[in-house]
Each structure stands twice: as structure tokens, then as C-alpha cells.
Structure 1
Amino acid sequence: MAKLGAFYALCPLIDNKYILGVTEDLEKGFVIATLGKNIASRYKISDQKQVSCWRTKEKFSSAVIYDKALGKYGAVFNKSFIKMWESEESLDKLKKYKFNTPIHTIISKNGHSFLVFQNGAVMKLAEALDQRKSLNPKGLDIKEIDDIIYGEMHEDFYFGIIVKTGGNTLYWTRYAEGHTTKFNKIQLDRDLSLIGYAFHPVKNNMNVLILWSDGSIYSYNLQDSYMETPCIGELFTVIDSLSTKHSVSILSLDENYIAMYGANYNEEGAVLVIYNTQFKVTQSKQPFKLFTNNSEIWRVEENLMVPVGQNLAVIPFHLENEQLAALVGSHKIVQDKDSEVRIVQEVDVASWDTKYKMRDRQLPEDLKNQISELITCGLPESIILEETLPEIFKTHDTASLYLCIRHFSDIPEEYLAKILKYTLDLDANYFNEKKSEFVNLPEILQPLERVKILDNIFSRPFSEVLLLPFLRQQLSIGDVSLLLNYICLLWSDDQSTLPHLNSIETESKLLHWSCILIDSNYQKIILSNDKSIRECLGVLNRLIQDHLSCLGDLKVILPMLRNIKKTSQCTDANMLSLRYSVEQLSLY
């Protein structure tokens, strides 16, 4: 199980666009934050106190790191030289270690420091400092490095160079036994935008995860790579908890978890997510009110750090080994069981050898084939809907839309709102001509097929928190008025029930939909002052009052019903609680 703790602010930021990085300090519980091009500070994480601060007139071009081998702090300045120091406060008069090749950055990983040059060459920091006068590192034929990713596995260090000029390209190399291997090239060719990337070790293989603008994450095994590879890997998973319209920072926590930081799926603020790569589920998330594009995520010990607004936020996290128990809700069996507790274990036996059968054979042949193909690929229903609904909307195939709603059980809230809006706006000529016999039904909701689609949408389960922003975005005040009128008609008719629901469940669903329609469009309703919607709200209020009145009557007779039930139980009991009994015996 993975869990994020409550976040808190470590320190204020000068500008979150200029923060150069956060690295580990010499002592545990301390961190080095390079807050800008002229300032870096050391902080104690537990009490958020500043321990020391360094200022410089010459600009930092990398984060300040601590090299355990040299026992010194260091950083790159102006991309041309390095300075190393111990306890000095002023950095302006320190010795400059100049290099013939421009320096891109310094990377520190688990006490090991590496120098990355502008041409992509990678060297140990201590070796580079010793050989700097004669050093002419051979690297890649590239003009500019857009980003760098790095990871560690079995004491080998992997470095990836992201180049976006002339197409997305990943160059990667491995540092092992004191030297780096030749660079391998992976051409990332898709008609989509590259959103995020990270190294992720799994067992004895290092993989690179690539996130695209359609929400799909592809995984590529670096062990199988050749010198130049055009493949983008295999589909690993699809995420829907973050918006892929903006960049997403990805960080590997261990072989079962990754952390992702980016804009929330509804683009209202930011969100930090811990994703379980073994079971392909989101296990913990932390939303934030503010998001800045191109924000990074750093790990220091068991803490994640992200820039949020004008502060550097610290989010503690905890990883456990028993991930499956948290996912399925099971627990270890307690040996000292209460004598009154009876454990009932009921399971459904699945026939795994039986081929999947589609629940509705009335789907059109082309649509059925497309859905079957997507199911074979192992995609969830939410992704299958994303693939099929746009084509249905484009062709105005209302019959297929109705069958899809009946066929799929897991319809995302975003598509519930889209289908609702589409059904209300679509011209009646695209529906079957058969009219609904519902009394007082507004003409705009005719014909019967439109009403059937609405009824099926109303009967679907949903999360109010997820659905509310989509309803606010999709529906107009006219749509809300029309839907509330229809809900009032359904509620007032005792014979009307939603598909697969009884009368009590139907009333509960209609009440739930009434609340969320009003909540999502509250401002529009207040500002419109529309007469028709005021009348509709009055009718809805009377229906609710009648409902509450019935509940009040039931509350009055409840003690009587309990009494009757109790008396019946006593009469039917095998042993009557009497102190004596009278029996008549016939002697003659």
C-alpha cells in the first residue's frame, strides 16, 4: 500500500519558474534547495528551519549538490565552470574549475555525483575535475538538451537525454564499472505530444516510461535496445487522474510505484499521484489549488517535494510491501476471534476458459467488431468508450448510442455529461419516429428513443464529485430546466421507474440527480431568475415535502409495527416464558 501524508510548506519561493532543484544534504533530514540563479539554502525538513544560505553574484546553472566522495558542496556556474566549497558562506571568491566543453548540469544520485556536458557526455564529478585541463569528452551531435532523466539499478546508473528538435528523441547510456557505454537512440515517433518520461527499474531490467498527450503510457525495455531503435515500446497503462494537456513530471519510487505531478484532470489546480505499476491503479493522490506548467518533482528520503504557488511543498509518503491487501480490501485473519463473530466466505466461481460474450448482440456489426478488438487488447470500458463515442456522435447513430449505454457498465462521469448534452441538443429527425406516450412530456423531449437514453443515463451509478464539474461545463440553464421538469414528471408518476430499478431506487436516483443538477448550475439558476425554472423548483419542493410527509407517517406507525413483529415472534416461539401451565385431562 502507498499513502501520501499531509503536506506542508518547507520554504517560500522567489519564483517557482526559476527553482533549479532540490537535493540531499550531508546529514539525513536536511535538504539543499537551489531557489534561484543567485541563492541556495539548506533546510531541516522536520521543523522547516533554514540552517544556512549561500548567495552569489555569478549565476547558478545547476542545483547545488553535496558530493560524498569529495566531502564538498558544488554547483555549475554560467554553464562554463564549477565551484566546490565546504562551509564558506560567500561563493564569489572561490576557485573556479573551468572546462573546455560547456557544462549542462550536475546530477547527484545516492551519494554519487555526475557531470553532464552540453554534448551529452557523462563523467564522474571527481574524475572530471582531475582531468579538466586535458578533457575533451566525446558526446552526441546535438545542438541542445531539452531534458535529462536518470535512474539507478544494481549500482549501474542510467542517463537519458531528451532532444525535441527535429522530432522527439531519447539518447540513453549506462555508467558501469567506471565508464559509460555507447549512446543508444530511441526515436519517439507519434502524432501526439510528449508529456512526461522517466526511468523505471523492474526486477533486473531498466525501462523507460513515456507519457503521451492521449493519456497512454508506453514502456520500453532498455536491455533490448540497439544502437538506434525506432520503436516506442508497448502500451503500459492509461491514466485519467491527470490532465495531459500540460507537462507531467514522473518519478520512480520503487519497482512497484511511480509518482506523477501535473495539472488535475479537470485542470482546476494540480495533483500529486502515487500510481501502482504492478496492479495499474492509482493508490493515493494529493490535490493542490495552484499549478504551474513545467513543474518538477524531487525525492529526498521518504519525502516528495513540488513547487506549489509561491512555496516549496513537502509531502511525506509511505510504501508498504502488501499492496494487494490494500487494493482488494482483504486483511490477515485474526486468530483470537470473538465467539459471537461468524465469518462467512462466499465467492463467485469464474470460468476463465469461457470466451467473453458480449451482453448485447444487437450492436451493429462494425461497432461490435471494433469493441471486440479493443476488449481483446485488454482496454477498460472507459477507454473503449473514448474510442467509439466520437464516431457515434459524428454519424448521429442514436440506436448505437442507446445500445452502448445499455452494454457498458462503467461509463466515466465525463462521458455521462457529454451524452446527456448530446441527447438534449440532437434534432428529433435523427431518432426513431415512435412517440412517447408519457403524459405532459415536453415536445422537445420527444420521441421515445430520446427519453429511453435519458432514463438509462439517470439509472447509471456516478460519483457526484467527479460529475459536478462536467455538468457545470456542459449544460446550459435551458438544459437544466428541461431535465428538472422531466425529473418532476417521472417522480410524480407512480407507474414510472428507471431501467433495472424499483420504485424506491428510482426515487433515490431522481432526488440525487435533482441535487447535482442544481448544485452544478446554482449560479446560473440564481442569475437567470427564469420563471419556468422557478416553477419547476416549486414543483420539486412540493414533491420532496410530500415524500417527507410520508416518511413522517411511517415514523409514527413504526413502534406499532415493531410491537406486532415482537408479539408474533413470542407466539411462534417453541418455548413460552410461563411459570406454570393448566392442562385438562380426560379420566373417563
Structure 2
Amino acid sequence: MAKILAPYALCPLAERKRFVGVSPDSESGCVIVTLARNIIIRYRVSNQKQVSSWSTKAMLSAPVIYDHASKLYYGIFNSDEVSSWEEHVVSLGKLSKTKFIWLIHSIVSSEDVAAVIVYQNGVISPLKTDLAHSKSPPEVKDDQLLPPEENIKDARLVSLASVHYVALYTANEVGETILHLVPVDQDRGTRSFIKLNRAGFKLTAFTILDGDSPVLITLWSDGKLFSLSLPMRYSFPGKLISVVSCIDVNHPAVILQLGQEHFVLYGAAPNSEGAYLVILGRQFGLPESKAKMKVYDDECRMWTCRNNVVMVLGGHLVVAPFRLDTVKLASLIGVDKALDTNKENGVSIMDNSVEGITSFITQMKEEGHIEHFICDAVFEELLESKNIEGLNAALDNIADIPDKWLVQLANFAAVDEKLLRRVLKLPLSGDASTQTLVRQKLMLTSALKLISVITGMLKEDDVDKCIIDWACLLCDTHYLQCLLSKDDQVISATRDLHDAVEEHIESMVTYRSLLAEINYFKRGKVTSNTPSVSSHSYVVEKIKLY
């Protein structure tokens, strides 16, 4: 399943109203942030560091983009001038600008498509061509122009069955949203438009999932999520794929494509404050992972950069890393049913006795709730009340436990070795987000306690793979502290773990040699210990000369 990792802030926004936008950079893992009307900064997403920056006295009217074909950066100034520069340029003050007759909305490009200029009247054209003929606008027909009452809200490049289009999202005076699909190469496609209207319901969010089987995804105020094949083969809005309950669909939301089989949804949290960032699968339209955001922003804007979602939240630019895996249908059972809370007016609705906990979990499963959500409802209260018997009862009835709860259970169970041994035998993914959790939740003293218990378990006859995974996780997250520490307890714990691992390695070498002997016996052969060095001091060799 897909997974959203811990979000973090990339940079603050000095003035939200002056922020222009984000676009992919020439380097993998970097983004171009047009922070204000005259400030451009290149950020490396992984470490939030600035790669380079530019400033200009002229006012930018659209996000700065990088064109892979010409290997140049392009900026639009005052909606009618375009300027370009190379990466090594320090100052943009003396750049020459090309003035256009028509007002420009934006410039779009990708690794596969050279830069395309998008005019505010709905006309698109290759940027290279129009730069050479800027004083004479391209010849167009009336049907290539937008109606005067429509304004472009966004423009994006999409690939529909190997044909590249610019998708123009427009709005008219009565509040209707219209999608215009304009082919980059007029000879390979036909211009078309779709009015995103559904009688009696308000459009909450929409996006295009491009690729080999492109579809238009629309979410409506009744929670229904529709998928429409492109080019349009059926009547709008298309096929119903699911009913979304993970966000409040009565508030504005944003949908963005993540790969060929997933898309991300941002919206207000239902029945509570804050918001949710949710990854949904294209096939079933069900949530595969979600992250709670403290603040809901009804003017949220989102972009993707490799395996990261970049979004504007409040006064910051926030990055939410994600990971896409193969979808398993069994993991999606009950995922669309959300548990609001396990308390009403501050009073628990779960009986904390062993029987009560077992009954509560069984009831949740019968109602179709996924085990990840059941863990959220059960473990928080049991850990707060330090109910060891209740935790054991929960572990008896829940098989799929997220890493965030395994880490907290291990930290708590350090006071009870029997419970700790049980937790250490539970599987965990051990990815980057888990390592972050361990560093935050498990201090060195707690980690040493876990390492000592793991060392004892490694010396037993039956060693579970999960124990080795835990040992690797603890060593990875605390290696620097263990390496630099001169404390006798730290040295002793790491040395004991090293000795236990060495014993296992020696055992594996022995098992390997025994395996060869066993294979000989299976074939009906008996090995003999032939001395490797002959006792004779000479060698007889027969050579035939003729």
C-alpha cells in the first residue's frame, strides 16, 4: 500500500498573497520556488537547503519554470514580457526581455515536452516559435479562443494516450468550471472542452490522471468520486468508483496525481478541526494512507516533486514525502470507515477489562473497520492507563499493527520484559518514517534496555526474523550515540550484541558446511577426509611427446 511519511516545512512564506508558485527544477529532488513577485529560490527538498537564488526588480506574474529542451529558466514579467537565463547567472537585473502583444497566463514544460506558452485568451503555442515572432501574434481561428467571460485558473501539461495536451481549467461569471484540452501539436489532437457540472451538486475537487489510460477524476459535494475516460467515451461525470468519507466534501479540496495508479486528496477533516492528506488508489478509489494536518487551508495549492507532495499551508511551504507500493485488496477492507474517537465527553466508551477490550475490537471488526484505525482507538487509551493486561488482550486480537504503535509499545514495555518480548516478535516495516519515530520516542537508555533483551533473545534456540529487524533498527537510529559514548553500560550492551551476532554468523558457517555433507548423504555418497597435501615429496607426470 501507499504511505505518507512525516510532513515537514520547506520554507516560510513572508507574504502569502505575494507567493507565486512552485515548479520542477533541472536537478532531481529540487524545486523552483517563486517565493514572491521578485524572489526565486531553488530548494533541495531532502534537506531543505537553498541551492541558489535570484532576485529581480521587475514583477513576476507566473512561476519561473525550467525548460529541459533549451536548458534555460524562463520567467514572465508583468504578464506580457518573457526573459530567459542560465543556471550560473547571478543577477537578473540586466536580462533582455521579449515583449508580447497578447497577455500571458503561464509557461508550461516537462522533461518530454519543450516549453509551451499559454496566453490568457486560451491560445497555446511553442515558446521557441513565439519568441521569434513576438511582435506578430499567431494566426488562430475563433474556436481556438476562450469566450470573453472565461478566465484561466490553472494550466497543466498532460499526456493522453501518448498525445500531449495543455489542460486549461477555467471559470466563468456564473461559477461554472470548464476543462479545455488543447493539443500541443494541432495535427495530432483535437481541441475539446468539458463543463464540470452535475445537477444538484457542487464540484469539490478534480484532476486528470494522465498516462496510457487517462481519466478525469471528479469529487462532488455528496461524497461521490467519479472517473471519466479521456478522450470522453461516456457521458459526464462517468463511472462511480467510490464514496469518499475521509474528508468533509462540503469544503474546498484539492486532488493531485501521484504516479499511474494513485492520487492524493487534501481536504477538511470530518467532524473535527484540521485537515487530512489522503492517498487513494485509482482502481478502487479507497484511502491507502492518510496524514492529519493541524490546520485546514481552503486555498491550499499542491505540486509534486518526485516522491514528495509540496503544498502551501498557512504561512509555510510544506513537504509531505510519500511511498507508492503495490495495492493489496485485503489491506483495503474497511479502510473507508473512519473511527472518530473512542471517547464521548471525555468518558471512554471502551471497557478496559480484558473481556471488554476483546469485545470492543471484535465489534469494530464486525462493523468493517480496518485494524490500523482500531489501533488508533485502542492503544492510546491503554498506554495512558498503563493497562498491561489490556495491551496483551489487544495484541491477541489485532494482527496488523502500524509501526508508530509498535515503537510506543516497545518504549512502554521496557518495564515489563514479558510484554516487551512479545512486542519484539511483531513485524515492522522499518522505513525512514519508523527510524524518525524511534529517534523521537526511544531515548538511548530505553534503546539499551531493548538491545539487552534482544541480545538475550538472540541467544535462544528459536530466533524470529523480527528480532533481527528490531536490532538493526535500534543500531541504525542510535549508532552515533553508541559510537561516541564512553559509558560502560553502552559499551557492554553493544559488545554483548556483537558477540551474539558473531555466534550466529559462526553457526551459519557451520550449517553451510553441514548442508554440503547432508546433500552427499542424500545422493547415497560417503565423503572421505582426503589429506589436502600429499605425503610424497615428488610428483610423477606422464607426457606423450609423439
Q: TM-score range by the shorter chain?
A: 0.5 to 0.7
1:188 aligned to which of 192, 196, 201: 196
Match status 1:142 vs 2:148: yes
Aligned position for 1:233: 238
CA shift at 1:318, angstroms? Answer: 1.6
2:274 aligned to which of 265, 269, 272: 269
Amino acid at match of 2:317: L
Amino acid at match of 1:35: L
User: Cα 1:134–1:141, aligned 2, differ >3 Å: closer, same or farther?
Assistant: same
Amino acid at match of 2:250: K
User: Cα 1:231–1:6, aligned 2, differ >3 Å: closer, same or farther?
Assistant: closer
Match status 1:324 vs 2:332: no
Amino acid at match of 2:300: S
Percent identity reads: 32
CA shift at 1:506, angstroms? Answer: 10
Contact 1:270 1:288 in 2 (8 A): yes
User: Cα 1:232–1:65, aligned 2, differ >3 Å: closer, same or farther?
Assistant: same
CA shift at 1:326, angstroms? Answer: 6.8
Aligned position for 1:311: 316
Amino acid at match of 1:146: K
Mapped to 1, the partners of 2:7 and 2:290 lie a distance apart of 11
CA shift at 1:74, angstroms? Answer: 0.8
Mapped to 1, the partners of 2:300 and 2:171 lie a distance apart of 18
SS in 2 for 1:128: helix
Aligned counterparts, 1:486-525, within 5 A: 505=356
Mapped to 2, the partners of 1:162 and 1:151 lie a distance apart of 12
SS in 1 for 2:246: coil
Aligned position for 1:158: 165
Contact 2:44 2:50 in 1 (8 A): yes
**Deviation digits for residues 80-117 of structure 1, max 9, x if unmatched?**
11111113333233211111111111123335322111
Aligned counterparts, 1:347-362, within 5 A: none
CA shift at 1:7, angstroms? Answer: 2.1
Amino acid at match of 2:33: A
1:301 aligned to which of 290, 300, 306: 306
Q: Which stretches of structure 1, 4 residues or more, deviate above 3 A after TM superposition?
A: 15-18, 147-150, 176-182, 503-510
Mapped to 1, the partners of 2:10 and 2:39 lie a distance apart of 16
Amino acid at match of 1:224: M
**Deviation digits for residues 142-163 of structure 1, max 9, x if unmatched?**
3322333442245422333233
Aligned position for 1:84: 84
Mapped to 2, the partners of 1:157 and 1:284 lie a distance apart of 31
Mapped to 1, the partners of 2:214 and 2:167 lie a distance apart of 12
Mapped to 2, the partners of 1:328 and 1:181 lie a distance apart of 38
CA shift at 1:180, angstroms? Answer: 6.9
CA shift at 1:198, angstroms? Answer: 0.7
Aligned position for 2:116: 114
CA shift at 1:315, angstroms? Answer: 1.8
CA shift at 1:299, angstroms? Answer: 0.8
- Count of paired positions: 357
1:282 aligned to which of 283, 287, 291: 287
CA shift at 1:509, angstroms? Answer: 5.8
Bigger Rg over Cα? 1
Contact 1:157 1:175 in 2 (8 A): yes
Amino acid at match of 2:197: D
User: Cα 1:505–1:236, aligned 2, differ >3 Å: closer, same or farther?
Assistant: same
CA shift at 1:305, angstroms? Answer: 0.8
SS in 1 for 2:129: helix
User: Cα 1:180–1:196, aligned 2, differ >3 Å: closer, same or farther?
Assistant: farther
CA shift at 1:311, angstroms? Answer: 2.1
Mapped to 2, the partners of 1:307 and 1:287 lie a distance apart of 15
**Deviation digits for residues 259-294 of structure 1, max 9, x if unmatched?**
112222235122211101213321111221122212
CA shift at 1:215, angstroms? Answer: 1.8
Aligned position for 1:439: none
**Deviation digits for residues 13-36 of structure 1, max 9, x if unmatched?**
123454322212112222211112
User: Cα 1:468–1:127, aligned 2, differ >3 Å: closer, same or farther?
Assistant: farther
User: Cα 1:259–1:506, aligned 2, differ >3 Å: closer, same or farther?
Assistant: closer
Amino acid at match of 1:255: Q
Aligned position for 1:101: 102
- CA RMSD, 1 decimal: 3.7
User: Cα 1:178–1:68, aligned 2, differ >3 Å: closer, same or farther?
Assistant: farther
Amino acid at match of 1:188: L
The runs of 5 or more residues in structure 1 that have no matched partner are: 330-379, 383-411, 414-462, 489-502, 514-519, 521-588
Amino acid at match of 2:122: G
CA shift at 1:174, angstroms? Answer: 4.5
Aligned position for 2:367: none
CA shift at 1:42, angstroms? Answer: 0.7
Contact 2:286 2:335 in 1 (8 A): no
Aligned counterparts, 1:523-538, within 5 A: none
Mapped to 1, the partners of 2:167 and 2:24 lie a distance apart of 21
User: Cα 1:197–1:17, aligned 2, differ >3 Å: closer, same or farther?
Assistant: farther
Aligned position for 2:214: 206
Mapped to 1, the partners of 2:4 and 2:40 lie a distance apart of 27
User: Cα 1:15–1:135, aligned 2, differ >3 Å: closer, same or farther?
Assistant: same
Mapped to 2, the partners of 1:301 and 1:245 lie a distance apart of 30
CA shift at 1:172, angstroms? Answer: 2.4
Amino acid at match of 1:116: V
User: Cα 1:82–1:326, aligned 2, differ >3 Å: closer, same or farther?
Assistant: farther
Mapped to 1, the partners of 2:258 and 2:229 lie a distance apart of 18
Amino acid at match of 2:74: G
SS in 2 for 1:129: helix
2:341 aligned to which of 459, 463, 467: 467
Contact 1:17 1:295 in 2 (8 A): no
Aligned position for 1:220: 228
User: Cα 1:240–1:16, aligned 2, differ >3 Å: closer, same or farther?
Assistant: farther
CA shift at 1:222, angstroms? Answer: 2.2
User: Cα 1:504–1:193, aligned 2, differ >3 Å: closer, same or farther?
Assistant: same
Mapped to 2, the partners of 1:325 and 1:279 lie a distance apart of 9
User: Cα 1:268–1:15, aligned 2, differ >3 Å: closer, same or farther?
Assistant: farther
Mapped to 1, the partners of 2:95 and 2:359 lie a distance apart of 73
**Deviation digits for residues 154-187 of structure 1, max 9, x if unmatched?**
5422333233323524242243556574431222
SS in 1 for 2:231: helix
SS in 2 for 1:110: coil
CA shift at 1:295, angstroms? Answer: 1.0
Contact 2:225 2:285 in 1 (8 A): no
Amino acid at match of 1:323: V
Contact 2:155 2:169 in 1 (8 A): yes
Amino acid at match of 1:164: A
TM-score, normalisation: structure 1: 0.54
Mapped to 2, the partners of 1:328 and 1:507 lie a distance apart of 23
User: Cα 1:281–1:230, aligned 2, differ >3 Å: closer, same or farther?
Assistant: closer
2:127 aligned to which of 122, 125, 128: 125
